[in-house]
Structure 1
Amino acid sequence: MRILHTMLRVSDLEKAISFYTDMLGMRLLRRRDYPEGKFTLAFLGYGEEAQESVLELTHNWEVTSYDLGTGFGHIAIGVDDVYAACDRIKSKGGHVLREPGPMKHTNSVLAFIEDPDGYRIELLNTP
């Protein structure tokens, strides 16, 4: 067993795809419109779906915004250098919620950023 994907509902699909590809380095793996259902699915990731977990972005054509709720926490992405990643994201107009630095009571170095729909993404230094 393995996790196949995590799904997020997004209000502006092009803006969301641009964020995840340009700022976080994912690739758009596949995209399909479902006119009869009035929605589009886009799958993004760092590797192929057959081997890696990916991110599914769902765009419902007639919805302009979502309530993020209180149950969702964040997506975590490992990076080589959290400080450099945040600098790159800020230079492209991205929003850093928590500047890079050590997590209290641990040796982990992390930061939090926000995607165009307000979803939180944790960036963690990985060896």
Structure 2
Amino acid sequence: MRTLHFGLRVADLERSLVFYTAVGYEVIGSVPETPFGSLTMLKLPGDEFVSIELVHDPAGGYKADGGNSGVLNHFVIKVESMTATLGELAARGVDAEAPVSPDGSDDFLTAWLTDPDGNRIELVQWPTGHPDGITGEDWTD
């Protein structure tokens, strides 16, 4: 098994598309009418597959407290260079918090941004040689 993508409920589809395309996501396709509302599929240029499905249902309303289907804490995007990524985001009008290093090093960095619906996105620059994601090795002594 593997995670394919996640559905993210949004209050205003156009506003969310402006934000996510400024972050760097590409619209791959859409399904206009489903029981959940319209579905818009997004992926990052370096991804092979869709990673986010924006779910928008103007008739069903939107509850910022997560009342529609649960509460998202955050999701994570891997970046090659935090400095370059933050510069590109700023040029596109996307504000991010200043990066910090969870382990005090210069090459393991995280930074946060927030989408128009208040969903938090963590950017991660892994240290040199680290796998592309978290593994069990991250917890071995």
Indicate the structure whose relative CO is greater, using CA pairs within 8 Å and at least 6 residues apart: 1
**Cα distance in 2, alignment partners of residues 121 and 68 from structure 1:** 16
Deviation at 1:14, TM superposition (A): 1.3
Matched residue, 1:17: 17
Q: Which residue of structure 2 aligns with residue 3 of structure 1?
A: 3
Question: What is the aligned length?
Answer: 123
- Residue by residue, what CA displacement relative to the aligned partner does 1:4-47 show, whole Å, maximum 9, x if unpaired? 11111001111112221222x1211111211x747210010126
Q: Within 5 Å, which residues of 2 pair with 1:71-82?
A: 71-82=71-82
Q: Which moved more, 1:37-46 or 1:54-63?
A: 37-46
Task: State the secondary structure of the residue aligned to 1:31.
Answer: strand
CA change 1:65–1:72 in 2 (3 A) is closer
Deviation at 1:89, TM superposition (A): 1.9
**Closer, same or farther: CA 81–59 of 1 in aligned 2, 3 Å:** same
Q: How far 1:59 moved relative to its partner? A: 0.2
One-letter amino acid matched to 1:103: P
Q: Which residue of 1 aligns with 2:26?
A: 27
Greater share of residues in strand:
1
**Structure 1 stretches of 4+ moved >6 Å:** none
Kindly indicate whether the alpha-carbon contact (under 8 Å) linking 2:75 and 2:120 is maintained by their aligned counterparts in 1. Answer: yes
In 2, Cα distance between equivalents of 1:31 and 1:79: 26
Question: CA-to-partner distance for each residue in 1:67-123, whole Å, 9 max, x for gaps?
Answer: 248953211101111122223223332232x31121246662110111111111111
Distance 1:21 1:3 in 2: 22
Q: Secondary structure, in 3 states, of the residue corresponding to 2:100?
A: strand
Identify unmatched segments of 5+ residues in structure 2: 129-141
2:134 match: none
Distance 2:46 2:78 in 1: 17
The residue matched to 1:100 in structure 2 has which SS?
coil
Contact 1:29 1:48 in 2 (8 A): no
RMSD of aligned alpha carbons? 2.8
Distance 1:71 1:42, change over 3 A: closer
Match of 2:52 in 1: 55
Percent identical residues: 29
TM-score computed with the length of structure 2 as normaliser: 0.72
